[in-house]
Chains A and B, each alone.
Chain A
Amino acid sequence: MHYLLTEEQQMIVDICRQIVDEKVKPVRAELDESKEFPWDAIKEIARGDLFRLFIEEKYEGMGTGIFEVCLATEELSRGDLSVATSYAASGLGLIPINVGGSDDQKKRFLPQLASGEKLAAFGLTEAEAGSDAGSIRTTALRDGDHYIINGTKQWITNGGEADIYTIFAMTNPEKGARGASAIVVEKGTPGFEFGKQEDKLGIRASATRELIFTDCRVPAENLLGREGMGFLIAMKTFDESRPAVGAQAVGVAQGALEEALEYSKVRKQFGSTISSFQAIQHMLADMATSVEAARALVYHTARVIDSGAKDVSRLSAMSKTFASDIAMKVTTDAVQILAGYGYMKEYPVEKMMRDAKITQIYEGTNQIQRNVIALDLIKKGVI
């Protein structure tokens, strides 16, 4: 297939493919079982300069765009969604610094995230504030030249493993959503602790923990933008990060399609390979077509964002929703093609099916995405 990649973009794909084949595939089943954070793979990704894709050249990045991030994320997801999620979550944690940080803040935090020496994490969700992000209760109250943070963030990807956390807290609780601010908190700050590692259906090797703040004093210079800009920064971040969730979905679907295709060519029943049966052929054809359609939408969205277009929420939501629904369907069909073997843990497709489910849920459920798409349609019309 042709994706019109430049030489540099093809290099990114090749590097990720080599990491997946040599460093990820051999250990993915084991990590899924043990829930161990994939540090070896993350170090290889760091050494491969892939964290630099999120960051401008001025701050030790590669100065590339969302499209390059999507290419890397897709290839990593083809191997293992836990690894890809840990990679993408560091990106999600640092995009608020990209979009809302001052030059000084960028100089302070971005170079060490670009090299992958440190990971970032994004802390918005709370027990009572999921899709309804406006009801967060964590507070950050100004006290001289510090903020004092109190509250608990829930299900934070890279929690405990990351060193730099962008968290969203109420600096002015009376103002509701307009009273939220984005603040960078470093691991090791007194009053900042982690909850236990969650036991999940899929992406089991990725870290998911609570962030617990008890009178945690953070320097006021860690505030991104101004007080009250928290949700604006969060929404801008999501516009840029959602295509990467779409790319995760395309990657895991591609991985499952490859497994199903290979299996169908060797599995024999009734004296011939099951790939010779039309029932299987049509399933494979539908799977391949939908993966290709999802990829086209994700790539298009990423390229539109990189062109500097401002109004991208609808397209961004579409790419995440469509690709993740496709990923769930394709991974489920892959299990069906491998049938009894597919249901067993000796084969990788049951894990892909468990992993794929999260792409319909995190960074805004697909129901919330559909709200975004519909409201934008009704407000602005079809075009």
Chain B
Amino acid sequence: MIKIKIAVCIKQVPGTTEIKIDPETNTLVRQGIENIVNPFDTYAVEEAVSLKERLEADESFGEEVEVAVISMGPPQAEEILKEAIAVGADKAILLSDRAFAGADTWATAATLSMALEKLGDVKLIIFGKQTLDGDTGQVGPELAHKMNIPFIGYVSAVEEISNKNIKVKRLAEENYEIIEVRMPAAISVGKDINNPRVPSLRGKMKAKKEEIPVWTVKELEADPEEVGLAGSYTQVVKIFTPRIVHDVKMIEGTPEEMVEELFGNLKELNVV
């Protein structure tokens, strides 16, 4: 029996939208902030698991489907891979090596594509549409470019899937688009695509026992110049919070005078 693979690329992010930056070191303050799976990635995992269930329930399809989840990050990113196992992913791989540190979106896409090639026979790659921390939404399209496969962003429904093609619906500015591409292909998804499930007891017990393989530069047979900081075209040289200066001006006089002056001030500021 042929086995088709669906891969999901996920990332561990700080569990907050209010990121604080240490003004001394210009780095993210990670203390006291719990790491979570990037929220959009939970929809990507759910979509992969429900596609697996959908395909395996279809007798005309007749193939086994394997959901593999991949994350690049520090050793503690293993936690989010275990969470993916608990909700039904078949296997997980952690890409972790000091050489991967400092990667921009391009070097991340390069590393992920090497892992996907090592995995082999991947028909569909699913991403969350963007991350909570980096927010770029670039890794998916860059990876598709590197692997020379089609990419469809912001998918809101998988209309049809066979072992050759995938037909998806996505919301454009003012209309829905239905797009069909051959596989292998990559897609990114947002919150409108599904309703992620709660982990099962069997899943949690499997996740607890699961030994998650760690792939380093060695396993990927990667050229160290193509990954991490060395493989990055961009580099964050400084992160800072803009200083917000509050300027208060008290306006006095009769209501008419105050309105007149306020209107004049707003006009000067080009607000009205």
CB contacts under 8 Å to A, within B188-209, are 197-205, 208
CA distance A50 to B199 in the complex (A): 11
CB contacts under 8 Å to B, within A1-41, are 7-8, 11-12, 14-15, 18-19, 22-23
Cβ-defined contact, B199 with A15, below 8 A:
yes
Query: Is A47 in the interface zone, CB < 8 Å from B?
Result: yes
For B, the interface residue count at a CB cutoff of 8 angstroms equals: 10
CA distance A190 to B82 in the complex (A): 48
20 pairs of residues in contact across A and B, judged by CB atoms under 8 Å = A8-B205, A12-B201, A14-B204, A15-B200, A15-B201, A15-B204, A18-B198, A19-B198, A23-B198, A44-B197, A47-B197, A47-B198, A47-B200, A48-B198, A48-B199, A49-B201, A49-B202, A50-B201, A52-B201, A62-B201
CA distance A23 to B205 in the complex (A): 22
Q: Which 10 A-B pairs have the closest CB atoms?
A: A49-B201, A49-B200, A18-B198, A11-B204, A48-B200, A19-B198, A49-B202, A48-B198, A44-B198, A47-B197
* Residue numbers in B under 8 Å from A49 (CB-CB): 200-203
- Smallest Cβ-Cβ distance to B201: which chain A residue: A49
* Residue numbers in B under 8 Å from A52 (CB-CB): 201-202
- Smallest Cβ-Cβ distance to B208: which chain A residue: A7
Cβ-defined contact, A22 with B198, below 8 A:
yes
Interface residues on A, range: 10 to 19
Contact surface of A with B, Cβ cutoff 8 Å: 7-8, 11-12, 14-15, 18-19, 22-23, 44, 47-50, 52-53, 62
* Residue numbers in B under 8 Å from A50 (CB-CB): 201
Contact surface of B with A, Cβ cutoff 8 Å: 197-205, 208
Output the least CB separation between A54 and chain B (Å): 13
* Residue numbers in B under 8 Å from A14 (CB-CB): 204
* Residue numbers in A under 8 Å from B201 (CB-CB): 8, 11-12, 15, 48-50, 52-53, 62
* Residue numbers in A under 8 Å from B205 (CB-CB): 8, 11
- Smallest Cβ-Cβ distance to A17: which chain B residue: B198
Taking each of B202, B204, B205, which has the highest tally of chain A beta carbons within 10 Å of its own beta carbon?
A: B204
- Smallest Cβ-Cβ distance to A53: which chain B residue: B201
Output the least CB separation between B14 and chain A (Å): 21
Output the least CB separation between B210 and chain A (Å): 14
Output the least CB separation between B53 and chain A (Å): 10
* Residue numbers in B under 8 Å from A12 (CB-CB): 201
Other A-B pairs, 17, CB within 8 Å; known A15-B198, A22-B198 = A7-B208, A8-B201, A15-B204, A19-B198, A23-B198, A44-B197, A47-B197, A48-B198, A48-B200, A48-B201, A49-B200, A49-B202, A49-B203, A50-B201, A52-B201, A53-B201, A62-B201
Taking each of A18, A19, A49, A50, which has the highest tally of chain B beta carbons within 10 Å of its own beta carbon?
A: A49
Output the least CB separation between B182 and chain A (Å): 32
CA distance A49 to B198 in the complex (A): 11
- Smallest Cβ-Cβ distance to A64: which chain B residue: B201
CA distance A350 to B208 in the complex (A): 40
* Residue numbers in A under 8 Å from B197 (CB-CB): 44, 47
* Residue numbers in B under 8 Å from A53 (CB-CB): 201
Output the least CB separation between B73 and chain A (Å): 24
Output the least CB separation between B163 and chain A (Å): 26
* Residue numbers in A under 8 Å from B203 (CB-CB): 49
* Residue numbers in A under 8 Å from B199 (CB-CB): 15, 18, 48
* Residue numbers in B under 8 Å from A18 (CB-CB): 198-199
CA distance A226 to B69 in the complex (A): 53
* Residue numbers in B under 8 Å from A11 (CB-CB): 201, 204-205
Taking each of B201, B202, B208, which has the highest tally of chain A beta carbons within 10 Å of its own beta carbon?
A: B201
- Smallest Cβ-Cβ distance to A12: which chain B residue: B201
Output the least CB separation between B200 and chain A (Å): 5
Output the least CB separation between B208 and chain A (Å): 7
- Smallest Cβ-Cβ distance to B88: which chain A residue: A47
CA distance A38 to B205 in the complex (A): 27
- Smallest Cβ-Cβ distance to B203: which chain A residue: A49
Output the least CB separation between A315 and chain B (Å): 27
CA distance A8 to B201 in the complex (A): 8
CA distance A49 to B206 in the complex (A): 13
* Residue numbers in A under 8 Å from B204 (CB-CB): 11, 14-15
Output the least CB separation between B87 and chain A (Å): 9
Taking each of A11, A12, A23, A52, which has the highest tally of chain B beta carbons within 10 Å of its own beta carbon?
A: A11
* Residue numbers in B under 8 Å from A44 (CB-CB): 197-198
- Smallest Cβ-Cβ distance to B197: which chain A residue: A47
* Residue numbers in A under 8 Å from B202 (CB-CB): 49, 52, 62
* Residue numbers in B under 8 Å from A22 (CB-CB): 198
- Smallest Cβ-Cβ distance to A21: which chain B residue: B198
Output the least CB separation between A70 and chain B (Å): 15
* Residue numbers in B under 8 Å from A62 (CB-CB): 201-202
Output the least CB separation between B178 and chain A (Å): 28
CA distance A50 to B202 in the complex (A): 10
* Residue numbers in B under 8 Å from A8 (CB-CB): 201, 205
